[in-house]
Amino acid sequence: MSEPRATTAREVALQVCRDVFGPTPRGAREALDYRLRKTALAPRDRAFATELAYGAIKMRRYLDFELQPYVGERAKALPQPIAEILRLGTYQLRSMNGVEAYAAVSESVGLARKYGHKGTAGLVNAVLRRVATEPPREADLATRASLPNWVVSHWRERFGEDRLDAILAGVNGPAASGVCVDLRNATTAEAQAVLSAAGIATTPSAFAGDALVLDATAPSGELERLAEHRWHLHAEAAAFPVDILDPQPGGRVVELCCGRGNKTLQIASRMRDEGSILAVDDDPRKIAQTSARLDAAQIAMVALVTADVSAMQATPDADLVLLDAPCSGLGILGRQPEARWRKRSDDPERMSVVQRKLLDAAAGSVKPGGALVYAVCSTDRREGEDVVDAFLAAHDGFSRDVLPPRYAPFITANGDVLVPPGIDGRDGFYIARLRR
């Protein structure tokens, strides 16, 4: 990330695309945050850069399909900056409302001259003028949605043809933002009032009582600045596992694979600083981040442990256990623009081996009468029902527990929660609640 400072929104988007698909690939959000910190762009231009970068990353397959007749075999020899400039220009012409064709072409040509030479600028000019004046090509569904074929086939089988179009449109649109209110310090109504006064509209989640849903354009920096430990950034569906866990003051909770602590904070909030939480992860960097967040929020009820969950020697003394297991991440393809290009069709099968070991280990912490919630941000059956069914077949002391009626829109025939990705801006999730 050592390029010159970008001077326009389009140049920021170009640099983000180069970071994501360069020789040392970065995450889109990481790259965008870094690039925006290096600029003095106005809020409107920052929003434009975000929409353009994320959109061009998501729609990469479709953009290459649209460019193919005009670039042909030359695409293989194009320098990366020029190839990305062509994609960004095509995205503006095909998918962005309110962008004048002249501006999309001329600004792209300027970037091609800056990052290439007169010849590459001429190529970009010629190609994008063709794109601007000729109609879109006919394409199959997966190409139009710019997703791998196997992902589209999976969602069709999982959710049916009737919901497929809404899912595909949703994962290609902006993912909804969200916050989880710290109920120790504010009510959801009080948090809404503070955000409303700052011009940020929110809607209470119909499912998780401590979650507020925000428009995708809500500025994350402003949300964090205003928080003052009254909330933390947390997507709505990601708040469902703790809501289904339903921790209460005075209880003992074990959280496994706690990551950077979003759900740890949510559990502590629900428990009102009464009781105890053991939070475990095998990544010391994530444990350090969680520790810092807990200290800042003045939460002292959490014991943090760095350990391999699958090898833990557990004591069955927890009222509740949450296992938010590592997974393929198929449910968050709409939130992480680059993720669709980094997944493989065998990821769910590979991850299910790990998940089964973790769930077996998690069971050892649950006391008789206690409950265990298993969650993954994946929609693949191999990481969901198959893992839970195999667990129940091997542990006759456990059974599926009753879920809150408000989750009825997502409850499967087996009695678990399955949230489709994309619809209403949500991430896809699978959640099961088991009783010992």
Cα separation, 125 vs 296, in Å, equals 52
Instruction: Give me the residue spans of the domains in the chain.
Output: 9-139, 142-172, 237-435
Summarize the chain as % helix, strand, coil (round to 5). Answer: 55, 15, 35
Place of tokens 């040392």: 24
141 contacts: CB under 8 Å, gap ≥ 6: 152, 168
Cα separation, 192 vs 205, in Å, equals 12
- What per-residue confidence (pLDDT) applies to 3? 63
Q: Tell me the pLDDT tens digit for each residue of 321-380.
A: 999 999 999 999 999 999 999 999 999 999 999 999 999 999 999 999 999 999 999 999
Cα separation, 133 vs 94, in Å, equals 11
The stretch 403-422 carries a mean pLDDT of 97
Q: What angle do CA 74, 78, 84 make, to 5 degrees?
A: 120
Contact in structure between 151 and 379 (CB atoms under 8 Å) = no
Query: pLDDT category, 1, cuts 50, 70, 90?
Result: very low
pLDDT over 90, % of the chain: 91
Q: Does 17 qualify as catalytic in the annotation?
A: no
Has residue 233 got a pLDDT over 70?
Answer: yes
The stretch 261-280 carries a mean pLDDT of 97
Beta bridge partners of 418: 430
CATH, domain 237-435, list 3.40.50.2300, 3.40.50.1240, 3.40.50.150, 3.40.50.11540: 3.40.50.150
Q: Give helix 284-296 / helix 262-271 axis angle, nearest 10°.
A: 40
SS3 306: strand
Q: Give helix 9-21 / helix 28-37 axis angle, nearest 10°.
A: 140
- Ranking 32-41, 270-279, 343-352 by mean pLDDT, the lowest is 32-41
CA within 13 Å, CB half, 375? 28
Cα separation, 94 vs 55, in Å, equals 11
Query: pLDDT category, 2, cuts 50, 70, 90?
Result: low
Across the chain, mean pLDDT equals: 95
Query: pLDDT category, 216, cuts 50, 70, 90?
Result: confident
Cα separation, 12 vs 22, in Å, equals 15
DSSP states along 381-409: GGGTHHHHHHHHHH-TT-EEPPPPGGGGG
The stretch 25-53 carries a mean pLDDT of 93
Beta bridge partners of 255: 279, 322
- Ranking 161-170, 207-216, 351-360, 378-387 by mean pLDDT, the lowest is 207-216
Phi, psi of 249 (to 5 degrees): -55, 140
Cα separation, 321 vs 315, in Å, equals 12
Domains 9-139 and 237-435 share a fold: no
For 9-139, which CATH class?
A: mainly alpha
Q: Tell me the pLDDT tens digit for each residue of 76-115.
A: 899 999 999 999 999 999 999 899 999 999 999 999 999 9
Alpha-carbon distance values, 158 to 167, 235, 379, 427, 431 (Å): 11, 23, 8, 15, 15
Has residue 232 got a pLDDT over 90?
Answer: yes
Which amino acid is located at 258 in the chain? C
Contact in structure between 377 and 332 (CB atoms under 8 Å) = yes
- What per-residue confidence (pLDDT) applies to 194? 96
Cα separation, 422 vs 221, in Å, equals 24
Cα separation, 202 vs 232, in Å, equals 14
247 CA to centre of own chain: 24
Cα separation, 212 vs 188, in Å, equals 7
Strands 429-435 and 252-256: unpaired
- Annotated catalytic residue, options 180, 257, 258, 377: 377
Q: What is the token pair recorded at 12?
A: 């920021």
- What per-residue confidence (pLDDT) applies to 363? 97
Query: pLDDT category, 296, cuts 50, 70, 90?
Result: very high
CA within 13 Å, CB half, 122? 3
- What per-residue confidence (pLDDT) applies to 93? 97
344 contacts: CB under 8 Å, gap ≥ 6: none
Query: pLDDT category, 218, cuts 50, 70, 90?
Result: confident
Helices (H) and strands (E) in the chain, counts: 17, 12
Question: Taking Cα atoms as reference points, which of 304, 277, 308, 300 lies closest to residue 290?
Answer: 304
Alpha-carbon distance values, 281 to 208, 255, 264, 342 (Å): 25, 9, 11, 24
DSSP-derived letter for residue 302 is E
Has residue 4 got a pLDDT over 70?
Answer: no
Place of tokens 């981040």: 289
